[in-house]
Structure 1
């Protein structure tokens, strides 16, 4: 029988802490939330490896280091409301739920969304709401949000998503430029989001977050 608790501790000790993630609430969440539960059944053996875990349909669960560093950069507070885009099977949502007052998760793949809702319920995550909708639309009726996270990469972030961020709020995303990616943290000030570099990372680009192609006549 696999000792997932030991693997969870090893993940934190070898992937998260060495990446300068030291906030106690993030460490505690990653030691507590059972990542293997939110991993496809046939991928559970690789739930704790240091790479993105495939969820099917070109989607992934972000590697522990990348997700931990995103959460560290965002510094989510206990009274804040978070929008989690592309939650997959719900692992990121379960983590964020331990950091925030509430989290609204959006998943456009109906199979993933159905399974995520069941898993979050089975793991007693009671301060998260899951919405099945196109990722690029977000969940405007529940916003605006203090924090927005994206569980995958972008080439650009649609204005419809940035509009759901509160003034003074934060958003983190992995921006892909060809085969290379960087995580950037955005702050909304006077209605505009300004981005700064955080760290290097890589992930598949989420549907609806591709750069619009310019047509040349």
Structure 2
């Protein structure tokens, strides 16, 4: 019988804390949420490794370090509404649910699978799971204090920054060559101001690719 609880502690001690993630609510959430129930069954043994977990197509579950550092940079507060785009089977939403007042978790139907049931099983009752196009977000529930994308982007649609409250912030992994750059964008007087957070890698999310114009 695999001792996932010990692996979870080891993940936090070996991957999260050494990455300068010191905010206690994030550490506590990652120690509490059983990551193994949010990965496809055949990949359960790899749930706590320090790598992105392939979910099919170009989609991955972000490595623990990347997610933890994004959450650390965002500094989510207990009274805030968060939009989690590309939540897949729901792990990120479950972790964020421990930090925020409510989470709107969006993904395609084939990615979500049993996310709603799994989130309910782990007690993440402040998460609303929604099937939708990631590039469209979920404007009907916004505006949001925080937006996070669970994958890389080459282009960021205005439709998403429009859903951010003034004074809100978003964490985005911009694909720039082999190594991506995570930046936190702050919306001030309707305009986005971006700050470098750290480097990380992940595949580009469907719909967020840069479209190159071909000319003859």
TM over 0.5: yes
Q: Which residue of 2 aligns with 1:57?
A: 57
Distance 2:213 2:76 in 1: 37
* Match in the other structure for 2:13: 13
Structure 1 segments unaligned to the other structure (5+ residues): none
8 Å CA contact retained: 2:26, 2:71: yes
Asked if the contact 2:76/2:99 (under 8 Å) is kept, the reply is: yes
Stretches of structure 2 lacking an aligned partner (at least 5 in a row)? none
1:216, distance to aligned residue in structure 2 (A)? 3.2
The answer to whether 1:71 aligns with 2:110 is: no
2-structure distance, mates of 1:134, 1:57: 16
Distance across 2 between alignment mates of 1:156 and 1:195: 14
TM-superposed CA distance for 1:215, in Å, is 4.2
Distance in 2 (alpha carbons) for counterparts of 1:21 and 1:125: 22
Count matched residues: 216
Q: Distance in 1 between matches of 2:27 and 2:122?
A: 18
The answer on 1:3 being equivalent to 2:3 is yes
Q: In structure 2, what is the Cα distance between the partners aligned to 1:190 and 1:173? A: 20
- What displacement does 1:73 show? 0.1
TM-score, length-scaled by structure 1: 0.97
Partner of 1:171: 170
CA contact (8 A) 2:58 2:206 kept: no
1:107 aligned residue: 107
> What is the CA distance between 1:180 and its match in structure 2?
2.0
Question: Deviations along 1:136-182, whole A, 9 cap, x unmatched?
Answer: 00000000000000000111210001100000101001111232211
Bigger mean CA deviation after superposition, 84-93 or 177-186: 177-186
CA RMSD, Structure 1 to Structure 2 (Å): 1.0
1:159 equivalent to 2:151? Answer no
Residue 147 (structure 1) aligned with residue 131 (structure 2): no
Structure 1 CA distance, aligned partners of 2:121 and 2:56? 22
**Structure-1 separation of matches of 2:79 and 2:112:** 26
Residue aligning to 2:204: 205
Aligned structure 1 segments of 4 or more residues deviating by more than 2 angstroms:
212-217
For 1:96, what is the secondary structure of its paired residue?
A: helix
Shift of 1:124: 1.9
Q: TM-score, normalised by structure 2?
A: 0.97
| Separation in 1, partners of 2:63, 2:191 | 30
Q: Which residue of 2 aligns with 1:116?
A: 115
Is the contact made by 2:50 and 2:63 (CA closer than 8 Å) also made in structure 1?
Answer: yes
Partner of 1:44: 44
